[in-house]
Structure 1
Amino acid sequence: MKYLNIIAAIAVLVSFTNCSDDNKIVPTEPEANLIIKFQFDPAQERLNNLGEPAAVAAGNAAQSPDFARMSANYIEFAPNATTLLGEGEIVFEGPKTTAGGSNAIDFQNVTFAGDGDTFLTIPLNDVAVGNYKWVRVSLAYQEGAIQLLSNGVDYTGTLASFVGYNNYITSFDLNGSTIEVNDNKSQGFWAFETQGFTVQGQAPEGATTVPNPLFNSSPIPQGSCVVTGEFENGLTLTGNETNDVRVTLSFSINNSFEWTEVNADGKYEPNAGEQVVDMGLRGLIPIVAN
Structure 2
Amino acid sequence: MKRIVGLFLILVSALSFFSCEDEDDSDNGPYLIVKFQFDPNQARLNNLGQPATIPSGHAAQSPDFSKISAHYFELAPTAYTQLTEGTVLYHAEETVQGGSVAIDFSKAVIVEEGSVFLKIPLRQVAQGNYEYVRISLSYQEYDISIRNNGVDYQGTLASFVGYNNYITTHFVENNSFPINGNRLQGYWAFALHDFPYATSGQAPAGATTVPNPIAATSPIPAGSCVVTGKFSQNLVINGNETRDIELTLSLSTNHSFEWQEVTVDGKFEPSIGESVVDMGLRGLLPTFVK
2:239 maps to a residue whose letter is G
Aligned residue for 1:271, secondary structure, equals helix
2:112 maps to a residue whose letter is G
| Structure 1 counterpart of 2:285 | 285
Superposed displacement of residue 29, structure 1: 9.8
Superposition TM-score, scaled by structure 1 size: 0.89
Structure 2 gaps of 5+ residues are 1-25
| 1:1-290 superposed matches below 5 A | 30-194=28-192, 195-290=195-290
Superposed displacement of residue 272, structure 1: 1.2
Superposed displacement of residue 263, structure 1: 0.8
1:254 maps to a residue whose letter is N
Structure 1 gaps of 5+ residues are 1-27
2:135 maps to a residue whose letter is V
CA deviations over 1:2-37 (Å, ceiling 9, x no partner): xxxxxxxxxxxxxxxxxxxxxxxxxx9942000000
2:113 maps to a residue whose letter is D
Aligned residues: 263
CA distance in 2, matches of 1:29, 1:80: 30
1:140 maps to a residue whose letter is S
Cα gap change, 1:29/1:182 in structure 2, threshold over 3 Å: closer, same or farther? closer
Aligned residue for 1:136, secondary structure, equals strand
User: If you compute each CA radius of gyration, which structure gives the higher value, 1 or 2?
Assistant: 1
CA distance in 1, matches of 2:35, 2:264: 38
Superposition TM-score, scaled by structure 2 size: 0.89
Cα gap change, 1:131/1:168 in structure 2, threshold over 3 Å: closer, same or farther? same
1:69 maps to a residue whose letter is K
